């Protein structure tokens, strides 16, 4: 082993006294198992290089939580290009191999793993009577070329390319469905795959429960993407009243509809997103339009709230108002609630 080799990660620690996340550069030297930490904000050494036997190379992947001298750190990014190249795909490929265990002996396995780890994916739990059979019917044949002939209205016929790039996956049996659900949404309390939030140059958008129940999720997502915004993280949450009041605290005593806003947000599932673009908070807030959909339809008729909103409470989406709050709102969902 190269004793001079080192791997660098950006790590965050939540300081309960200051109620904020502190960011560090974590260096790990696999040759002797030593660690070193630098305070990113203050540009100073936080921990001199010290041997630490409780941290191992296999612990180092984005999204994992590691303990370094009783301080729990979350690894949020790679600290240099070398680390990204050497370790970047290791965890993702193992997860993909576990997911596609039924294809271990197939000749196309390597191509499939390469494709599924080439970018973000969305995992969903879908409920209905006879869900597995009905989902398979909606998907169509595994090869998109065959699907366009045999089931031209199926998802793979409409959105897939071939047998690997076939748009969507579905389990073949109840046992496969149960295994796959456990990989993405563990029932044992362990963490599933890390979310994809980047926590840089971002703002927050929440698709409200009424829009979800009205079947508008897909249309709103398409509108956001068509407008040129990058959805870098997305997750469904079922918030309780305490969470919503904490999130909406800035509006308490300021907005007369505060109580109604709170009630709407915990009335059902919502979808939170990290949105990225240049000057994201200002440009995305303008794209959402005025909070009152009636005003939006007169002044900004092409905005999200004008198109999908109903009332000032059920106005389809929440968006961050102030640039300095964009990162904080994203962190609330993808660090605090997700954990």
CB 154 within 8 A of CB 178: no
pLDDT at 202: 96
Who has greater pLDDT, 172 or 304?
304
Q: What is the pLDDT of residues 224-268, one digit of tens each?
A: 999 999 999 999 999 999 999 999 999 999 999 999 999 999 999
Domains 91-184 and 202-337 belong to one CATH topology: yes
CB 28 within 8 A of CB 158: no
Q: What is the pLDDT of residues 274-315, one digit of tens each?
A: 999 989 999 999 999 999 999 999 999 999 999 999 999 999
CA 183 to each of CA 52, 64, 178, 188: distance values in angstroms, whole numbers, following the listed order: 31, 15, 9, 11
Sheet holding 44-51, edge to edge: 44-51, 34-39, 20-29, 7-15, 71-78, 65-68
Phi, psi of 294 (to 5 degrees): -65, -45
pLDDT at residue 215 greater than cutoff 90: yes
CB 36 within 8 A of CB 50: yes
Domains of the chain, by residue range, sit at 7-86, 91-184, 202-337
Round to the nearest angstrom and report the end-to-end CA distance of the chain: 35
Q: Can you spell out the DSSP letters for 173-229?
A: SHHHHHHHHHHHS-SSS---SPP----SSEEEEEE-HHHHHTT-HHHHHHHHHHTT-
The stretch 145-170 carries a mean pLDDT of 96
CA 130 to chain centre: 29
CA distance 211 to 238: 14
pLDDT at residue 18 greater than cutoff 80: yes
CB 244 within 8 A of CB 265: yes
Whether residue 169 lies in the annotated active site: yes
Q: What is the pLDDT of residues 65-85, one digit of tens each?
A: 899 998 999 988 889 888 887
CA 272 to chain centre: 9
Question: Strand, coil or helix: what is 74?
Answer: strand
Closest CA to 141 of 159, 166, 116: 166
Q: What is the pLDDT of residues 266-278, one digit of tens each?
A: 999 999 999 999 8
Give 236-242 contacts, CB < 8 A, sequence gap 24+: 236/269, 236/270, 236/271, 236/272, 237/269, 237/270, 237/271, 237/272, 237/333, 237/337, 238/266, 238/268, 238/269, 238/270, 239/265, 239/266, 239/270, 239/337, 240/266, 241/266
CB 13 within 8 A of CB 22: yes
CA distance 225 to 301: 18
CATH T-level assignment (fold) for domain 7-86: PH-domain like (2.30.29)
Closest CA to 233 of 127, 326, 94, 322: 326
Q: Does domain 91-184 have CATH number 3.10.310.30?
A: no
Closest CA to 246 of 136, 339, 332: 332
CA distance 313 to 257: 7
The catalytically annotated residue of 103, 169, 298, 318 is: 169
Burial bucket for residue 225 (CB in 10 Å: 0-12, 13-18, 19+): exposed
Strands (E), 59-143: 65-68, 71-78
Q: Is the dihedral of CA 40, 43, 44, 49 positive or negative?
A: positive
pLDDT at residue 160 greater than cutoff 60: yes
pLDDT at 91: 64
What rounded mean pLDDT belongs to the chain? 92
| Residues of the chain above pLDDT 90, percent | 71
Question: At CA 223, angle to CA 159 and CA 233, rounded to 5?
Answer: 80
What is the architecture, at CATH level 2, of domain 202-337? 2-Layer Sandwich (3.30)
């Amino acid at each position: 082993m190269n004793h001079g080799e080192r791997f660098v990660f950006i790590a965050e620690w939540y300081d309960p006294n200051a109620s904020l996340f502190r960011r560090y550069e974590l260096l790990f030297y696999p040759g002797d198992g030593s660690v070193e930490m630098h305070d990113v904000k203050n540009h100073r050494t936080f921990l001199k290089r010290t041997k630490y036997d409780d941290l191992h190379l296999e612990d180092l992947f984005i999204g994992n939580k590691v303990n370094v001298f009783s301080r729990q750190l979350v690894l949020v990014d790679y600290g240099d290009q070398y680390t990204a190249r050497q370790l970047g795909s290791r965890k993702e490929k193992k997860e993909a191999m576990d997911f596609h265990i039924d294809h271990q002996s197939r000749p196309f396995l390597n191509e499939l793993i390469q494709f599924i780890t080439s970018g973000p994916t969305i995992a969903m739990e879908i409920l209905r009577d006879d869900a597995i059979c009905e989902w398979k019917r909606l998907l169509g044949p595994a090869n998109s070329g065959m699907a366009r002939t045999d089931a031209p209205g199926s998802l793979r016929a409409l959105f897939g390319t071939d047998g690997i790039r076939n748009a969507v996956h579905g389990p073949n049996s109840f046992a496969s469905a149960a295994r796959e659900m456990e990989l993405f949404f563990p029932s044992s309390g362990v963490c599933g795959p890390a979310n994809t939030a980047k926590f840089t140059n971002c703002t927050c958008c929440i698709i409200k429960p009424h829009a979800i129940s009205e079947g508008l999720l897909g249309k709103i997502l398409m509108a956001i993407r068509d407008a040129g915004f990058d959805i870098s993280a997305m997750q469904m949450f079922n918030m309780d009243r305490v969470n919503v009041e904490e999130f909406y605290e800035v509006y308490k005593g300021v907005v007369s509809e505060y109580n109604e806003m709170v009630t709407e947000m915990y009335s059902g599932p919502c979808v939170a997103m990290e949105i990225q673009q240049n000057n994201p908070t200002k440009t995305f807030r303008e794209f959402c339009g005025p909070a009152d959909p009636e005003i939006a339809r007169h002044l900004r008729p092409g905005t999200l709230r004008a198109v999908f909103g109903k009332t000032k409470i059920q106005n389809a989406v929440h968006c961050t108002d102030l640039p300095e709050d964009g990162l904080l709102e994203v962190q609330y969902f993808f660090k605090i609630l997700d954990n």
